[in-house]
Amino acid sequence: MSEPSSPAPPGAPSVPPTAVDPLARAGSEVLGGPAGRRLGGDGPWWARALPVAVFLTSAAVAVGVATRHHCRAQGWNTPDQFVHACYSDLPVVFTSSGLANGLGPYDDGVALNQPPVTAALAWLLARLAPHEVTVAAQRTYFDVSSVLLLLAALVVTVSVWATTGRGRGWDVLLVAVSPVLALSGLLSLDLAGVALATAGTACWARRRPVAAGVLLGLAVAARTYPVLVLLAIALLAVRTGRHRAAATTVLAAVLAWLAVDLPLALTRPGAWSAYLSAFFEQRAGYGSPWVLPQLAQQAVGAEGTSGLPGTAVVVLSVGAWIAWTALVGVFALWAPRRPRLPQVAFLLVAGCCALGVSFPPQASLWLLPLAVLAVPRWRDQVLWWAAEAAYYGAVWLYIAGQTNTDRALPPELYALFLLLRLAAVAWLVVCVVREARAPRRDAVRSTPGLDDPAGGDFDGAPDALVVRIG
């Protein structure tokens, strides 16, 4: 049986990463060396983990705005928006979906294809921008969206900090300084759904199952992936036998989701289900392993370059998801020691991203808080960051080449960056599996007094069911 994670006593300092992480210690030499006693509990309030992380998160979003300077000034036009890597779905969808004409999210003539909470946010933001298809209107919409996404990023940061556990508050810097946040945070409204899901996870960690369920239910109504966080909770409830809190959370999530989705499903079924039906009609998208056959055809100059048929891609993707989910379920019940909640959730979401019909850059935001909580090691995170940043530049150059071959990235090079990104995600998966099987390698469980600080009711719980194979 594991001991539950000890709550931090008042004023208990978090250990700076330069004191425990070799890569963070080596990197700190650029800034004058490892942190001293004044960076943390013995220093001023603004030098502690959360205020520093809030500042750096705000700086990361500011960097995201700065990288869109060309598009803000000249407009989001093809191929410039890809060549200058300043693309964002936000202004493009604003003008192309019908929102710029003052229409509602489910009015006739509007094509958002988004879950209800995201669609509602897009419409509310459109109310703050001029109802016209101009560069000025696009810029206004992007700017007001950036303010909302800054708030969402801060919610993610605070929620991760609240979930890290005693002595590990500085792990939140892995969110704040991640290039995933700076580069992809303003691509779409995905960060709003990530904020809801991360806040729900923090409530679960604080043993508030109803609040956790409501937030996770709203998160599912914003981005569907948080249903995998609920599945992770259910799997660990089976392993520990602690069903009551998990059932309460799942029930609250279902009710919250129904409260948002059911009225729309009954009154506007076609518009409501558009984002679901669109999944079954798409071909392999950017970032997906299923687009590799198409890239191979392009590289060799084949006559047909359409790749796999859309139906085959959907079947392969859904089949891979089912198989991966089954494997993670078996692993969660089989591992010698109960995996931590972020580890199980990360495995599920990583499989969803890497095996999906598409894996756009903004989908990495789904992984970011879970990756930090599951693998809070700077070396592993930096490897992932490097692959994400390289892919981010590559995908825009490849897309630009569809309309301007003078500035094109060859398909074989794009395929290489795609594979490097998938390999980086796979490496994080390997780290999670390795540390779950050998908890002495786990940075969290090797911290005195910690078991599963994000686990809520599962923290320190004994096993009720363990599956033995072989």
Residue 464 lies in a domain: no
Between CA 210 and CA 291 the distance in angstroms is 41
Arithmetic mean of pLDDT, 153-168: 95
Secondary structure E strands in 141-182 = none
Average pLDDT rounded to a whole number, residues 3-14: 47
- Round to whole Å and give the CA distance between 12 and 73: 47
Residue 6 lies in a domain: no
Distance CA 379, CA 369 (A): 16
Containing structural domain, residue 59? 44-458
8 Å CB contact between 245 and 469: no
Any domain includes 348: yes
* Domain membership flag for residue 28: no
Averaged pLDDT, 90-116? 89
**What pLDDT shows up at residue 302?**
73
In tens, the pLDDT along 443-452 reads 999 998 899 9
Residue 57 resides in a domain: yes
The CB-side HSE value for 216 (13 A sphere, CA atoms) comes to 30
How far apart are the C-alpha atoms of 185 and 66, rounded to whole Å?
Answer: 12
Q: Which residues contact 136 (CB under 8 A, 6 or more apart)?
A: 130
The residue whose two tokens read 């309030």 is 45
Longest Cα–Cα distance of the chain, Å, equals: 68
Answer whether 440's CB lies under 8 Å from 447's CB.
no
Closest by CA position to 443, among listed 367, 377, 370: 377
pLDDT of residue 17: 66
* pLDDT recorded at residue 23: 65
Between CA 99 and CA 122 the distance in angstroms is: 8
Does residue 224 register a pLDDT over 80?
yes
Q: Looking at 55-59, 232-236, 280-284, which range is the least confident one?
A: 280-284
For the purposes of burial, counting CB atoms within 10 Å of the CB of 108, is it exposed (0-12), middle (13-18) or buried (19 or more)?
A: exposed
Q: Domain tally for the chain?
A: 1
Q: Are 49 and 14 in contact (CB under 8 A)?
A: yes
Give this prediction's pTM. Answer: 0.92
In a domain, 5, yes or no: no
Residue 164 lies in a domain: yes
- Residue 187 inside a domain? The answer is yes
* Section 246-263 average pLDDT: 97
Using alpha carbons, list the distances in angstroms from residue 159 to 80, 201, 205, 208, 412.
Answer: 37, 8, 10, 14, 40
CA distance 249 to 214: 8
DSSP string covering 238-262: HHH--HHHHHHHHHHHHHHHHHHHH
Q: What is the mean pLDDT of the chain?
A: 90
